[in-house]
Structure 1
Protein backbone atom coordinates (compact mmCIF):
# COMPACT_ATOMS: atom_id res chain seq x y z
CA UNK A 1 0.00 0.00 0.00
CA UNK A 2 1.27 3.46 -0.95
CA UNK A 3 1.52 5.94 1.89
CA UNK A 4 1.92 9.63 1.07
CA UNK A 5 1.64 12.68 3.30
CA UNK A 6 0.55 15.06 0.52
CA UNK A 7 -3.08 15.36 -0.54
CA UNK A 8 -4.00 13.24 -3.57
CA UNK A 9 -4.95 14.76 -6.91
CA UNK A 10 -7.68 12.15 -7.38
CA UNK A 11 -9.10 9.91 -4.69
CA UNK A 12 -11.34 6.88 -5.25
CA UNK A 13 -12.80 5.72 -1.95
CA UNK A 14 -14.62 2.41 -1.51
CA UNK A 15 -15.77 2.40 -5.15
CA UNK A 16 -18.33 -0.17 -6.23
CA UNK A 17 -19.26 -0.29 -9.92
CA UNK A 18 -22.03 -2.66 -10.97
CA UNK A 19 -23.32 -3.25 -14.50
CA UNK A 20 -26.72 -4.62 -15.54
CA UNK A 21 -28.07 -3.72 -12.13
CA UNK A 22 -31.37 -5.27 -11.11
CA UNK A 23 -31.20 -7.97 -13.79
CA UNK A 24 -30.11 -11.63 -13.74
CA UNK A 25 -26.92 -10.46 -15.48
CA UNK A 26 -25.92 -8.05 -12.70
CA UNK A 27 -22.17 -8.09 -12.17
CA UNK A 28 -20.03 -6.13 -9.72
CA UNK A 29 -16.77 -5.26 -11.49
CA UNK A 30 -15.13 -2.81 -9.10
CA UNK A 31 -15.48 -4.19 -5.60
CA UNK A 32 -14.80 -1.59 -2.88
CA UNK A 33 -11.75 -0.28 -4.72
CA UNK A 34 -9.55 2.36 -3.10
CA UNK A 35 -6.95 4.38 -4.98
CA UNK A 36 -5.15 7.67 -4.38
CA UNK A 37 -3.44 9.29 -7.37
CA UNK A 38 -0.88 12.02 -6.71
CA UNK A 39 0.37 14.92 -8.84
CA UNK A 40 3.03 13.69 -11.23
CA UNK A 41 2.23 9.99 -10.85
CA UNK A 42 2.79 7.94 -14.01
CA UNK A 43 0.99 4.72 -13.12
CA UNK A 44 1.10 1.59 -15.26
CA UNK A 45 -2.03 -0.52 -14.75
CA UNK A 46 -1.95 -4.30 -15.10
CA UNK A 47 -4.54 -7.01 -14.62
CA UNK A 48 -5.92 -10.10 -16.29
CA UNK A 49 -9.00 -9.92 -18.53
CA UNK A 50 -12.02 -9.03 -16.43
CA UNK A 51 -9.96 -7.65 -13.56
CA UNK A 52 -11.60 -4.21 -13.92
CA UNK A 53 -9.01 -2.11 -15.77
CA UNK A 54 -11.32 -0.59 -18.39
CA UNK A 55 -14.11 -0.26 -15.83
CA UNK A 56 -11.72 1.71 -13.62
CA UNK A 57 -11.07 4.12 -16.49
CA UNK A 58 -14.77 4.32 -17.38
CA UNK A 59 -15.58 5.08 -13.75
CA UNK A 60 -12.94 7.81 -13.50
CA UNK A 61 -14.10 9.38 -16.78
CA UNK A 62 -17.78 9.21 -15.81
CA UNK A 63 -18.76 6.78 -18.59
CA UNK A 64 -20.00 4.38 -15.90
CA UNK A 65 -21.79 5.67 -12.80
CA UNK A 66 -20.61 4.37 -9.44
CA UNK A 67 -22.95 2.19 -7.44
CA UNK A 68 -21.29 3.20 -4.18
CA UNK A 69 -18.27 5.15 -3.03
CA UNK A 70 -16.81 8.59 -3.66
CA UNK A 71 -14.52 10.16 -6.27
CA UNK A 72 -12.78 13.41 -5.35
CA UNK A 73 -10.57 15.70 -7.42
CA UNK A 74 -8.39 17.89 -5.20
CA UNK A 75 -10.88 17.21 -2.40
CA UNK A 76 -13.86 18.25 -4.57
CA UNK A 77 -16.56 15.60 -4.87
CA UNK A 78 -16.98 14.73 -8.56
CA UNK A 79 -18.72 11.38 -8.06
CA UNK A 80 -21.76 12.38 -10.09
CA UNK A 81 -20.14 14.90 -12.44
CA UNK A 82 -21.03 14.36 -16.11
CA UNK A 83 -18.60 13.07 -18.73
CA UNK A 84 -18.73 16.43 -20.51
CA UNK A 85 -17.78 18.41 -17.41
CA UNK A 86 -14.93 16.02 -16.63
CA UNK A 87 -13.29 16.87 -19.98
CA UNK A 88 -12.28 20.18 -18.38
CA UNK A 89 -9.65 18.30 -16.36
CA UNK A 90 -9.42 14.81 -17.88
CA UNK A 91 -8.29 13.47 -21.26
CA UNK A 92 -8.23 9.91 -22.61
CA UNK A 93 -6.58 8.06 -25.48
CA UNK A 94 -8.25 4.81 -26.52
CA UNK A 95 -6.85 1.61 -28.01
CA UNK A 96 -8.63 2.15 -31.33
CA UNK A 97 -6.82 4.80 -33.44
CA UNK A 98 -10.19 5.76 -34.96
CA UNK A 99 -11.49 7.02 -31.63
CA UNK A 100 -10.70 10.48 -30.33
CA UNK A 101 -10.36 12.21 -33.71
CA UNK A 102 -12.80 13.61 -36.24
CA UNK A 103 -12.10 11.63 -39.45
CA UNK A 104 -13.17 14.24 -42.02
CA UNK A 105 -11.36 17.10 -40.33
CA UNK A 106 -7.71 17.76 -41.10
CA UNK A 107 -4.91 17.17 -38.61
CA UNK A 108 -4.72 20.93 -37.96
CA UNK A 109 -8.48 21.21 -37.49
CA UNK A 110 -8.44 18.35 -34.97
CA UNK A 111 -5.65 20.05 -33.04
CA UNK A 112 -7.56 23.33 -33.08
CA UNK A 113 -10.60 21.53 -31.69
CA UNK A 114 -8.47 20.00 -28.94
CA UNK A 115 -7.09 23.42 -28.02
CA UNK A 116 -10.62 24.42 -26.93
CA UNK A 117 -11.22 21.30 -24.81
CA UNK A 118 -13.18 22.17 -21.70
CA UNK A 119 -13.67 25.80 -22.76
CA UNK A 120 -17.01 27.48 -23.18
CA UNK A 121 -18.06 27.41 -26.84
CA UNK A 122 -18.73 30.81 -28.41
CA UNK A 123 -19.16 32.20 -31.92
CA UNK A 124 -15.76 33.42 -33.08
CA UNK A 125 -13.27 33.09 -35.90
CA UNK A 126 -11.35 29.81 -35.87
CA UNK A 127 -7.89 31.36 -36.12
CA UNK A 128 -6.59 28.20 -37.80
CA UNK A 129 -4.03 29.95 -39.99
CA UNK A 130 -2.46 31.72 -37.03
CA UNK A 131 -2.12 28.41 -35.18
CA UNK A 132 -0.38 26.52 -37.99
CA UNK A 133 3.21 27.26 -36.87
CA UNK A 134 2.36 26.03 -33.38
CA UNK A 135 0.75 22.86 -34.75
CA UNK A 136 3.77 22.29 -37.00
CA UNK A 137 6.08 22.52 -34.01
CA UNK A 138 3.86 20.31 -31.89
CA UNK A 139 3.52 17.50 -34.42
CA UNK A 140 7.27 17.59 -35.10
CA UNK A 141 7.80 16.32 -31.54
CA UNK A 142 6.37 12.98 -32.69
CA UNK A 143 9.59 12.09 -34.49
CA UNK A 144 9.67 9.83 -37.50
CA UNK A 145 5.99 9.47 -38.42
CA UNK A 146 5.61 12.37 -40.85
CA UNK A 147 2.64 13.88 -39.01
CA UNK A 148 4.08 17.40 -39.20
CA UNK A 149 3.94 17.20 -43.00
CA UNK A 150 0.26 16.24 -43.03
CA UNK A 151 -1.40 19.12 -41.21
CA UNK A 152 -3.82 19.65 -44.10
CA UNK A 153 -4.61 15.95 -44.52
CA UNK A 154 -7.98 14.56 -43.45
CA UNK A 155 -7.47 12.36 -40.40
CA UNK A 156 -9.22 9.41 -42.05
CA UNK A 157 -6.33 9.27 -44.53
CA UNK A 158 -3.63 8.88 -41.88
CA UNK A 159 -1.94 5.64 -40.93
CA UNK A 160 -2.91 4.03 -37.63
CA UNK A 161 0.31 5.21 -36.01
CA UNK A 162 -0.13 8.79 -37.23
CA UNK A 163 -3.73 8.85 -36.06
CA UNK A 164 -2.82 7.54 -32.62
CA UNK A 165 0.00 10.07 -32.35
CA UNK A 166 -2.53 12.78 -33.21
CA UNK A 167 -4.94 11.45 -30.56
CA UNK A 168 -2.15 11.62 -27.98
CA UNK A 169 -1.24 15.19 -28.94
CA UNK A 170 -4.90 16.21 -28.78
CA UNK A 171 -5.26 14.67 -25.33
CA UNK A 172 -2.22 16.50 -23.97
CA UNK A 173 -2.62 19.86 -25.78
CA UNK A 174 -4.41 21.47 -22.83
CA UNK A 175 -2.27 19.68 -20.19
CA UNK A 176 -5.07 17.81 -18.43
CA UNK A 177 -5.02 17.27 -14.69
CA UNK A 178 -5.32 13.56 -15.43
CA UNK A 179 -4.44 11.61 -18.58
CA UNK A 180 -5.86 8.12 -19.19
CA UNK A 181 -4.03 5.95 -21.73
CA UNK A 182 -6.24 2.96 -22.46
CA UNK A 183 -3.86 0.48 -24.15
CA UNK A 184 -3.09 3.25 -26.62
CA UNK A 185 -0.32 1.33 -28.40
CA UNK A 186 -2.01 -2.10 -28.51
CA UNK A 187 -3.43 -1.78 -32.05
CA UNK A 188 -0.10 -0.75 -33.60
CA UNK A 189 2.71 -2.82 -35.08
CA UNK A 190 5.69 -3.43 -32.73
CA UNK A 191 7.93 -0.74 -34.24
CA UNK A 192 5.23 1.95 -34.26
CA UNK A 193 4.10 0.91 -30.79
CA UNK A 194 7.62 1.24 -29.37
CA UNK A 195 8.04 4.63 -31.08
CA UNK A 196 4.78 6.02 -29.67
CA UNK A 197 5.53 4.61 -26.22
CA UNK A 198 8.91 6.36 -26.14
CA UNK A 199 7.29 9.62 -27.24
CA UNK A 200 4.56 9.18 -24.65
CA UNK A 201 7.10 8.70 -21.88
CA UNK A 202 9.07 11.76 -22.99
CA UNK A 203 6.03 14.05 -22.99
CA UNK A 204 4.54 12.70 -19.76
CA UNK A 205 7.82 12.99 -17.85
CA UNK A 206 8.90 16.35 -19.30
CA UNK A 207 5.50 17.93 -18.72
CA UNK A 208 5.14 16.06 -15.42
CA UNK A 209 1.66 14.96 -16.39
CA UNK A 210 -0.36 12.78 -14.06
CA UNK A 211 -1.13 9.65 -16.02
CA UNK A 212 -2.63 6.16 -15.76
CA UNK A 213 -1.72 3.74 -18.54
CA UNK A 214 -3.34 0.33 -19.05
CA UNK A 215 -1.01 -2.14 -20.71
CA UNK A 216 -0.77 -5.89 -21.24
CA UNK A 217 2.97 -5.65 -21.90
CA UNK A 218 4.89 -6.46 -18.73
CA UNK A 219 8.08 -4.98 -20.20
CA UNK A 220 6.36 -1.61 -20.75
CA UNK A 221 4.79 -1.74 -17.29
CA UNK A 222 8.21 -2.22 -15.73
CA UNK A 223 10.10 0.21 -17.97
CA UNK A 224 7.76 3.19 -17.83
CA UNK A 225 6.24 5.16 -14.98
CA UNK A 226 7.10 5.69 -11.34
CA UNK A 227 4.30 3.49 -10.03
CA UNK A 228 2.65 0.17 -10.89
CA UNK A 229 -0.69 -1.25 -9.79
CA UNK A 230 -2.26 -4.65 -10.42
CA UNK A 231 -6.03 -5.15 -10.39
CA UNK A 232 -7.64 -8.45 -9.50
CA UNK A 233 -11.37 -9.10 -9.09
CA UNK A 234 -12.14 -5.40 -8.95
CA UNK A 235 -9.60 -4.50 -6.28
CA UNK A 236 -6.04 -3.23 -6.26
CA UNK A 237 -3.97 -6.15 -5.05
CA UNK A 238 -0.51 -4.72 -5.69
CA UNK A 239 0.72 -1.13 -5.58
CA UNK A 240 4.40 -0.16 -5.72
CA UNK A 241 6.33 2.94 -6.66
CA UNK A 242 9.76 4.50 -7.11
CA UNK A 243 12.69 2.34 -5.91
CA UNK A 244 10.50 -0.69 -5.17
CA UNK A 245 9.04 -0.60 -8.68
CA UNK A 246 12.44 -0.01 -10.25
CA UNK A 247 13.79 -3.14 -8.54
CA UNK A 248 10.96 -5.37 -9.84
CA UNK A 249 11.82 -8.04 -12.38
CA UNK A 250 9.58 -9.55 -15.02
CA UNK A 251 9.87 -12.92 -13.30
CA UNK A 252 8.68 -11.46 -9.99
CA UNK A 253 5.72 -9.83 -11.70
CA UNK A 254 4.81 -13.05 -13.49
CA UNK A 255 5.01 -14.85 -10.16
CA UNK A 256 2.61 -12.36 -8.65
CA UNK A 257 0.10 -12.97 -11.45
CA UNK A 258 0.36 -16.71 -10.89
CA UNK A 259 -0.37 -16.21 -7.19
CA UNK A 260 -3.66 -14.42 -7.89
CA UNK A 261 -4.94 -16.78 -10.60
Structure 2
Protein backbone atom coordinates (compact mmCIF):
# COMPACT_ATOMS: atom_id res chain seq x y z
CA UNK A 1 0.00 0.00 0.00
CA UNK A 2 1.26 3.50 -0.81
CA UNK A 3 2.12 6.14 1.76
CA UNK A 4 -0.92 7.85 3.31
CA UNK A 5 -1.83 11.38 2.27
CA UNK A 6 -2.80 12.21 5.85
CA UNK A 7 -1.97 10.46 9.12
CA UNK A 8 -3.09 11.08 12.67
CA UNK A 9 -0.53 9.72 15.11
CA UNK A 10 -1.52 9.28 18.77
CA UNK A 11 -3.72 12.37 18.61
CA UNK A 12 -5.17 13.55 21.90
CA UNK A 13 -7.66 16.39 22.18
CA UNK A 14 -8.41 17.63 25.68
CA UNK A 15 -11.05 20.16 26.67
CA UNK A 16 -11.35 21.80 30.03
CA UNK A 17 -8.82 20.67 32.59
CA UNK A 18 -8.62 16.96 31.82
CA UNK A 19 -11.50 15.78 29.63
CA UNK A 20 -10.10 13.83 26.69
CA UNK A 21 -12.34 13.83 23.61
CA UNK A 22 -9.87 12.05 21.33
CA UNK A 23 -7.68 9.47 23.06
CA UNK A 24 -4.41 8.57 21.32
CA UNK A 25 -6.28 8.23 18.03
CA UNK A 26 -4.44 6.82 15.01
CA UNK A 27 -5.73 7.01 11.44
CA UNK A 28 -4.09 6.72 8.03
CA UNK A 29 -5.96 8.25 5.09
CA UNK A 30 -4.87 7.08 1.65
CA UNK A 31 -5.31 8.68 -1.75
CA UNK A 32 -8.79 7.90 -3.07
CA UNK A 33 -10.20 6.71 0.25
CA UNK A 34 -13.90 7.47 0.72
CA UNK A 35 -14.34 6.81 4.44
CA UNK A 36 -17.74 6.85 6.12
CA UNK A 37 -17.52 7.79 9.80
CA UNK A 38 -19.99 6.51 12.37
CA UNK A 39 -20.31 6.97 16.13
CA UNK A 40 -22.72 7.96 18.86
CA UNK A 41 -23.14 11.57 19.96
CA UNK A 42 -20.03 12.52 21.89
CA UNK A 43 -17.91 9.80 20.30
CA UNK A 44 -15.52 12.38 18.85
CA UNK A 45 -16.57 12.60 15.20
CA UNK A 46 -16.83 16.39 14.95
CA UNK A 47 -13.75 16.77 17.14
CA UNK A 48 -11.86 14.55 14.69
CA UNK A 49 -12.88 16.79 11.78
CA UNK A 50 -12.09 19.98 13.72
CA UNK A 51 -8.64 18.63 14.60
CA UNK A 52 -7.89 17.69 10.98
CA UNK A 53 -9.15 21.03 9.65
CA UNK A 54 -7.25 23.03 12.27
CA UNK A 55 -10.32 24.47 13.99
CA UNK A 56 -9.39 22.75 17.25
CA UNK A 57 -5.83 22.39 18.56
CA UNK A 58 -4.61 18.95 19.53
CA UNK A 59 -3.07 18.42 22.94
CA UNK A 60 -0.49 15.84 21.90
CA UNK A 61 0.32 13.76 18.85
CA UNK A 62 0.86 14.59 15.20
CA UNK A 63 -1.25 15.31 12.14
CA UNK A 64 0.85 14.52 9.09
CA UNK A 65 0.26 15.75 5.54
CA UNK A 66 2.64 13.91 3.24
CA UNK A 67 4.75 13.14 6.35
CA UNK A 68 4.91 16.85 7.29
CA UNK A 69 3.46 17.69 10.70
CA UNK A 70 0.72 20.32 10.24
CA UNK A 71 -0.50 20.30 13.84
CA UNK A 72 0.60 23.92 14.30
CA UNK A 73 -0.70 25.17 10.94
CA UNK A 74 -3.71 27.48 11.07
CA UNK A 75 -7.11 26.47 9.77
CA UNK A 76 -6.77 29.14 7.06
CA UNK A 77 -3.53 27.61 5.81
CA UNK A 78 -5.09 24.15 5.74
CA UNK A 79 -7.92 25.36 3.49
CA UNK A 80 -5.33 25.34 0.69
CA UNK A 81 -5.65 21.54 0.62
CA UNK A 82 -8.60 20.64 2.88
CA UNK A 83 -12.23 21.47 2.03
CA UNK A 84 -15.26 20.98 4.26
CA UNK A 85 -19.01 20.86 3.83
CA UNK A 86 -20.98 21.40 7.03
CA UNK A 87 -24.38 20.13 8.15
CA UNK A 88 -25.88 23.62 8.10
CA UNK A 89 -26.64 24.69 4.50
CA UNK A 90 -26.00 28.32 5.52
CA UNK A 91 -22.32 27.63 6.16
CA UNK A 92 -19.75 27.65 3.39
CA UNK A 93 -21.49 30.12 1.08
CA UNK A 94 -21.80 33.91 0.87
CA UNK A 95 -25.56 34.66 1.08
CA UNK A 96 -25.52 38.05 -0.69
CA UNK A 97 -23.47 36.79 -3.61
CA UNK A 98 -25.07 34.96 -6.52
CA UNK A 99 -24.57 31.28 -7.19
CA UNK A 100 -22.18 32.12 -10.02
CA UNK A 101 -20.20 34.53 -7.84
CA UNK A 102 -19.87 31.91 -5.12
CA UNK A 103 -18.53 29.39 -7.62
CA UNK A 104 -16.07 31.95 -8.97
CA UNK A 105 -14.95 32.69 -5.42
CA UNK A 106 -14.40 28.97 -4.82
CA UNK A 107 -12.06 28.84 -7.79
CA UNK A 108 -9.81 31.38 -6.07
CA UNK A 109 -9.20 29.13 -3.05
CA UNK A 110 -5.52 29.26 -2.22
CA UNK A 111 -4.94 32.21 -4.56
CA UNK A 112 -4.32 35.84 -3.63
CA UNK A 113 -6.49 37.33 -6.36
CA UNK A 114 -9.65 39.17 -5.47
CA UNK A 115 -13.02 38.32 -6.91
CA UNK A 116 -13.82 40.38 -9.98
CA UNK A 117 -17.26 40.42 -11.57
CA UNK A 118 -15.78 40.56 -15.05
CA UNK A 119 -14.51 37.04 -14.40
CA UNK A 120 -18.10 35.91 -14.99
CA UNK A 121 -17.84 35.67 -18.75
CA UNK A 122 -20.44 34.00 -20.94
CA UNK A 123 -18.16 30.98 -21.23
CA UNK A 124 -17.78 30.82 -17.44
CA UNK A 125 -21.54 31.01 -16.91
CA UNK A 126 -22.06 28.21 -19.44
CA UNK A 127 -19.48 26.17 -17.55
CA UNK A 128 -21.28 26.79 -14.26
CA UNK A 129 -24.61 25.87 -15.82
CA UNK A 130 -23.14 22.53 -16.84
CA UNK A 131 -21.68 21.64 -13.44
CA UNK A 132 -24.71 22.80 -11.43
CA UNK A 133 -27.03 20.79 -13.67
CA UNK A 134 -25.31 17.61 -12.44
CA UNK A 135 -26.88 18.19 -9.01
CA UNK A 136 -30.34 17.54 -10.42
CA UNK A 137 -32.15 20.22 -8.38
CA UNK A 138 -32.52 23.10 -10.89
CA UNK A 139 -29.54 24.94 -9.43
CA UNK A 140 -28.41 25.56 -13.01
CA UNK A 141 -31.41 27.86 -13.52
CA UNK A 142 -30.47 30.05 -10.55
CA UNK A 143 -26.94 31.13 -11.35
CA UNK A 144 -27.85 34.82 -10.97
CA UNK A 145 -29.85 34.27 -7.77
CA UNK A 146 -28.50 35.42 -4.41
CA UNK A 147 -27.45 32.33 -2.50
CA UNK A 148 -29.49 33.39 0.52
CA UNK A 149 -32.64 32.99 -1.60
CA UNK A 150 -31.97 29.34 -2.46
CA UNK A 151 -33.68 26.35 -0.88
CA UNK A 152 -31.71 24.45 1.74
CA UNK A 153 -31.01 21.63 -0.68
CA UNK A 154 -29.82 23.95 -3.43
CA UNK A 155 -27.60 25.84 -1.03
CA UNK A 156 -26.06 22.63 0.28
CA UNK A 157 -25.48 21.41 -3.26
CA UNK A 158 -23.73 24.71 -3.97
CA UNK A 159 -21.59 24.27 -0.84
CA UNK A 160 -20.54 20.85 -2.10
CA UNK A 161 -19.69 22.17 -5.58
CA UNK A 162 -17.69 25.00 -4.04
CA UNK A 163 -15.74 22.60 -1.83
CA UNK A 164 -14.79 20.47 -4.83
CA UNK A 165 -14.39 23.19 -7.47
CA UNK A 166 -10.65 23.19 -6.84
CA UNK A 167 -9.86 19.55 -6.11
CA UNK A 168 -8.92 19.32 -2.43
CA UNK A 169 -6.46 16.76 -1.15
CA UNK A 170 -9.01 15.95 1.54
CA UNK A 171 -12.76 16.57 1.55
CA UNK A 172 -14.54 16.57 4.92
CA UNK A 173 -18.28 15.95 4.66
CA UNK A 174 -19.66 16.82 8.09
CA UNK A 175 -23.17 15.28 8.07
CA UNK A 176 -23.77 17.30 4.91
CA UNK A 177 -27.14 15.66 4.15
CA UNK A 178 -28.52 15.53 7.71
CA UNK A 179 -30.47 18.82 7.61
CA UNK A 180 -32.27 17.96 4.35
CA UNK A 181 -35.54 16.18 3.69
CA UNK A 182 -35.20 12.49 2.69
CA UNK A 183 -35.64 13.05 -1.06
CA UNK A 184 -33.20 15.97 -1.19
CA UNK A 185 -30.75 14.10 1.03
CA UNK A 186 -30.78 11.08 -1.27
CA UNK A 187 -30.35 13.31 -4.32
CA UNK A 188 -27.32 15.05 -2.82
CA UNK A 189 -25.85 11.76 -1.62
CA UNK A 190 -26.02 10.29 -5.13
CA UNK A 191 -24.39 13.40 -6.58
CA UNK A 192 -21.73 13.28 -3.87
CA UNK A 193 -20.87 9.68 -4.59
CA UNK A 194 -20.64 10.38 -8.31
CA UNK A 195 -18.34 13.38 -7.83
CA UNK A 196 -16.10 11.61 -5.31
CA UNK A 197 -15.82 8.49 -7.46
CA UNK A 198 -15.37 10.09 -10.87
CA UNK A 199 -12.90 12.73 -9.65
CA UNK A 200 -10.99 10.32 -7.40
CA UNK A 201 -11.45 12.51 -4.34
CA UNK A 202 -10.18 11.55 -0.91
CA UNK A 203 -13.02 12.06 1.55
CA UNK A 204 -14.27 11.45 5.07
CA UNK A 205 -18.03 11.58 5.60
CA UNK A 206 -19.74 11.69 8.98
CA UNK A 207 -23.21 10.21 8.86
CA UNK A 208 -25.84 8.82 11.20
CA UNK A 209 -27.50 6.96 8.35
CA UNK A 210 -26.35 3.35 8.63
CA UNK A 211 -27.63 2.49 5.16
CA UNK A 212 -25.55 5.31 3.62
CA UNK A 213 -22.50 4.29 5.63
CA UNK A 214 -22.74 0.78 4.24
CA UNK A 215 -23.67 1.71 0.68
CA UNK A 216 -21.14 4.45 0.01
CA UNK A 217 -17.38 4.55 0.27
CA UNK A 218 -14.63 1.96 0.21
CA UNK A 219 -13.97 2.15 3.94
CA UNK A 220 -15.88 2.56 7.20
CA UNK A 221 -14.71 3.57 10.66
CA UNK A 222 -16.61 3.69 13.95
CA UNK A 223 -15.60 5.98 16.80
CA UNK A 224 -16.43 5.28 20.42
CA UNK A 225 -15.23 7.34 23.38
CA UNK A 226 -12.59 9.09 21.32
CA UNK A 227 -11.05 6.02 19.75
CA UNK A 228 -11.52 4.10 16.50
CA UNK A 229 -13.06 0.76 17.43
CA UNK A 230 -13.68 -0.51 13.89
CA UNK A 231 -11.86 0.20 10.63
CA UNK A 232 -12.85 -1.92 7.63
CA UNK A 233 -12.52 -1.60 3.88
CA UNK A 234 -13.26 -3.44 0.66
CA UNK A 235 -14.85 -6.86 0.97
CA UNK A 236 -14.85 -6.72 4.77
CA UNK A 237 -16.95 -3.56 4.59
CA UNK A 238 -19.24 -5.05 1.97
CA UNK A 239 -20.01 -7.95 4.29
CA UNK A 240 -21.06 -5.74 7.20
CA UNK A 241 -24.73 -5.51 8.16
CA UNK A 242 -26.63 -2.84 10.05
CA UNK A 243 -27.16 -5.32 12.88
CA UNK A 244 -23.41 -5.83 13.25
CA UNK A 245 -22.80 -2.08 13.29
CA UNK A 246 -25.48 -1.48 15.91
CA UNK A 247 -23.56 -3.67 18.37
CA UNK A 248 -20.94 -0.92 18.55
CA UNK A 249 -23.58 1.55 19.71
CA UNK A 250 -24.71 -0.50 22.69
CA UNK A 251 -23.19 0.78 25.92
TM-score, with structure 1 as normaliser: 0.93
- Using the TM superposition, give the Cα deviation of residue 79 of structure 1 relative to its aligned residue in structure 2, in angstroms: 1.0
Q: Is 1:11 aligned to 2:7, yes or no?
A: yes
Question: In 1, are the aligned partners of 2:104 and 2:115 still within 8 Å (CA)?
Answer: no
- Using the TM superposition, give the Cα deviation of residue 19 of structure 1 relative to its aligned residue in structure 2, in angstroms: 1.7
Q: Is 1:50 aligned to 2:42, yes or no?
A: yes
Alignment of 1:242-257 (within 5 A): 242-257=234-249
Alpha-carbon RMSD: 1.2
Question: In 1, are the aligned partners of 2:39 and 2:45 still within 8 Å (CA)?
Answer: yes
Distance 1:232 1:120 in 2: 41
Q: Which residue does the alignment assign to 1:108?
A: 100
Unaligned runs of 5+ in 2: none
Q: Which residue does the alignment assign to 1:187?
A: 179
Distance 1:250 1:51 in 2: 18
Q: Is 1:215 aligned to 2:207, yes or no?
A: yes
Secondary structure class of the residue paired with 2:171: strand
Distance 1:164 1:134 in 2: 19
Q: Which residue does the alignment assign to 1:31?
A: 23
* Shift in CA distance, 245/153, structure 1 to aligned 2, threshold 3 Å: same
Distance 1:155 1:125 in 2: 16
Alignment of 1:1-261 (within 5 A): 5-20=1-16, 22=17, 26-121=18-113, 126-129=118-121, 130-143=123-136, 145-258=137-250, 261=251
Secondary structure class of the residue paired with 1:254: helix
Distance 1:157 1:82 in 2: 32
Describe the superposition over 1:140-192 as per-residue Cα deviations: whole angstroms up to 9, x where unpaired: 1111x110000000001000000000000000000100000000000000000
Question: In 1, are the aligned partners of 2:218 and 2:233 still within 8 Å (CA)?
Answer: yes
* Shift in CA distance, 192/106, structure 1 to aligned 2, threshold 3 Å: same
Distance 2:114 2:208 in 1: 41
TM-score, with structure 2 as normaliser: 0.97
- Using the TM superposition, give the Cα deviation of residue 28 of structure 1 relative to its aligned residue in structure 2, in angstroms: 1.2
Describe the superposition over 1:23-62 as per-residue Cα deviations: whole angstroms up to 9, x where unpaired: xxx4210010000000000000000000000000000000
Describe the superposition over 1:62-115 as per-residue Cα deviations: whole angstroms up to 9, x where unpaired: 000110000111111111111111011000000000000000000000000000
- Using the TM superposition, give the Cα deviation of residue 255 of structure 1 relative to its aligned residue in structure 2, in angstroms: 2.2
